[in-house]
Amino acid sequence: MVDTKTWARVKSPWLIHFNSGACNGCDIEIVALFTPKYDVERFGIKLEPSPRHADVLVVSGCVTQQCSERLLRVYEQMPEPKFVVAVGACACSGGIFEGNYNVVGGADKVVPVTAYIPGCPPRPEAIIDGIVKLLNTLKQSKTSSSLSKEAKVASTAVTGDSVEVITTEEKTVGKE
């Protein structure tokens, strides 16, 4: 049963997009993924409006104090296993807004991030590459639960033309 769930998640991941205060540069690139030019549906990727049906949370923009609760609430509503992809420099580290009075920082300050796709804004090809690399690491690891305590999480860092897969130790963020 675990292999069937992993197979379904890898072959047909549903994404939910969360804008946490971006300048809309990354949002335009994320929406461009679903146009005929890039056609991410060939990988089985679908944009889902409900967090209760989504597998991957795509976060863009630096996380502000005002939206940090909402981001955590959306993350908690997603079914297990769930994955978070930080798109853009702001979602990865806070970007140029880091240190501002109302900015918490990157998405990893609120929810555990599985893949980082830096850039300002990252090109659609880099976003596709990061998501596909995330799916390939899931297929190779054949793990069904991604965010249990002390679980190994494969993080993907996409920089320019090179893609690097890093395995790190993560702890569950949120209420226990």
pTM above the 0.85 mark? no
Phi, psi of 109 (to 5 degrees): -80, -20
Instruction: Compare 1 and 159 and report the one with higher pLDDT.
Output: 1
In 3D space, the residue among 117, 154, 161, 118 whose CA is nearest the CA of residue 136 turns out to be 154
Domain 2-170: state its class: alpha beta
In 3D space, the residue among 66, 68, 67, 48 whose CA is nearest the CA of residue 58 turns out to be 48
Write down the pLDDT at residue 142.
55
Cα separation of 144 and 73, whole Å? 22
pLDDT in tens, 75-91: 999 988 888 999 998 88
Distances (CA, A) of 67 to 19, 45, 57, 64: 9, 26, 15, 5
pLDDT in tens, 6-58: 677 677 788 899 998 878 888 888 888 888 888 888 878 888 888 898 888 99
When the pLDDT of each residue in the chain is averaged and rounded to a whole number, the result is: 77
